């Protein structure tokens, strides 16, 4: 798919550069659809002003969706959502003694009025795909490309099924 403009439409924020191992899957999913992203390391706890400033200025810089990866207490997605009108997708990262369950619950349990869409633990690829779907509301070419992506996945499943051979149930 051709690129949607030259400017990033998605901001990807993570609390540490070590999170890039997981968050790069969001970048790759966006790139598959020609969507540019910018990446930032900012911590809700160690650099809260930086995180807030980033969220406050995101819309003016032309961003349309934010994706935030966070582990442990996982406050980063909520902090960004508190400071921007843009949709925020939270990616709970597997870390610590609870292996990401704490992050998942922290991101999913946002208070009323501060929504954060939440994907699976380490689900950065789905965060990127969800961002593409959100952008598809404005960019018909992305919506059509996403339809093609889903059709391709369906064909792949059918091809795998066909390799199983007989006997097969009839639907």
Distance CA 162, CA 144 (A): 27
46 labelled as ligand-binding?
Answer: yes
16 labelled as ligand-binding?
Answer: yes
50 labelled as ligand-binding?
Answer: no
Strand partners, 11: 38, 66
Instruction: Determine how many CB atoms are found less than 10 A away from the CB of residue 45.
Output: 13
Q: Which residues are annotated as a binding site?
A: 16, 19, 46
Q: Which residues are annotated as a binding site for substrate?
A: 16, 19, 46
């Amino acid at each position: 798919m051709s690129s949607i403009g030259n400017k990033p439409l998605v901001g990807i924020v993570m609390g540490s550069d070590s999170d890039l191992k997981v968050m790069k899957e969001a970048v790759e999913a966006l790139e598959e659809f020609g969507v540019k992203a910018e990446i930032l390391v900012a911590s809700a706890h160690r650099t809260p002003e930086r995180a807030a400033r980033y969220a406050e200025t995101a819309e003016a810089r032309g961003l349309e969706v934010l994706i935030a990866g966070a582990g442990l207490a996982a406050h980063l997605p909520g902090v960004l959502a508190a400071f921007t009108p843009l949709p925020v997708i939270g990616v709970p990262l597997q870390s610590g003694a609870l292996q990401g369950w704490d992050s998942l619950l922290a991101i999913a349990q946002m208070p009323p009025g501060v929504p954060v869409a939440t994907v699976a633990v380490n689900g950065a690829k789905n965060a990127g795909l969800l961002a593409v779907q959100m952008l598809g509301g404005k960019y018909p070419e992305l919506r059509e490309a996403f339809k093609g992506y889903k059709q391709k996945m369906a064909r792949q499943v059918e091809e795998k099924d066909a390799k199983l051979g007989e006997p097969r149930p009839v639907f």
